[in-house]
Amino acid sequence: MRLTQRSYVDEDLSEVDLADADLGGLEFVRCDFSGASLARVRTRGTAFTDCVFHGVELYDSEHRASSFVTCTFTDASLAGAALHGCRLTGSSWTDCRLRALTVRDCDLTLVGLAGERLPGTDLSHLRLREANLTGAVLTGCDLRGADLTGARLGRADLRRADLRGALTDAGGWVAAQLTGAVIDLDQAARFAAAHGLTLAPPGD
């Protein structure tokens, strides 16, 4: 299918084949992409708002300075996809395949990634404010300098993750799995306080 308009509103684009297409500069509002093939698509400055991506193939796609605002991704494949400077505010992912996902300089404020698997993913310096990461598998992730203020981390698997410089609420990690995680001294003090511990120099 070839898209001939610059803006699409309330369009049923389910099952469309847009593999390898260049969607740069287009706008999609409340569009349904269920079952569509968007493998290897390229976007730049493209805006998706309130769109549905159920069972969509987005693997090996590349997105730059694009936005996916309050979009819903379910059973979608984003394996090998790359997002650079994108805004994903309020979007949610459920049962998605996110292997080898690249995310750089993106705003993931209020995203829903509860229970999703992102082991070993580089999430450094991302904005993840108030994100729902409940039960997410983040083992070995690089979260250095990420903004996790207000993020929900209950039962999140952060084993072996690098959290140095990440911004979190005082009790944000209390219910997370942290075995082998790397934190800095300031975080250690806040972690201790959240567990009712006091850091003090060695006694005589």
What average pLDDT does range 194-203 have in this prediction? 78
Distance CA(7)–CA(54), nearest Å, equals 21
**8 A C-beta contact, residue 173 and residue 191:** yes
71-90 pLDDT, tens digit each: 999 999 999 999 999 999 99
What pTM did the predictor assign? 0.92
**Angle formed at CA 70 by CA 68 and CA 72, multiple of 5 degrees:** 85
What pLDDT is attached to residue 194? Answer: 75
Distance CA(148)–CA(167), nearest Å, equals 5
pLDDT class of 204 with cuts at 50, 70, 90: low
**Cβ count near 126 (within 10 Å):** 25
What average pLDDT does range 161-178 have in this prediction? 86
What pLDDT is attached to residue 196? Answer: 80
What pLDDT is attached to residue 105? Answer: 97
Arithmetic mean of pLDDT over the chain: 94
Check pLDDT > 90 for residue 169: no
**8 A C-beta contact, residue 9 and residue 32:** no
Distance CA(99)–CA(145), nearest Å, equals 22
94-139 pLDDT, tens digit each: 999 999 999 999 999 999 999 999 999 999 999 999 999 999 999 9
Phi-psi region of 113 (alpha: psi -120 to 50; beta: other; left: phi over 0): alpha
What average pLDDT does range 26-44 have in this prediction? 98
The three-state secondary structure class of 157 is strand
3-26 pLDDT, tens digit each: 889 999 999 999 999 999 999 999
Which of 203, 156, 165, 170 has the alpha carbon at shortest distance from 184? 165
How many Cα atoms within 13 Å fall on the side-chain side of residue 31?
Answer: 21
| DSSP E strand boundaries for the chain | 7-9, 27-29, 42-44, 47-49, 52-54, 62-64, 67-69, 72-74, 82-84, 92-94, 102-104
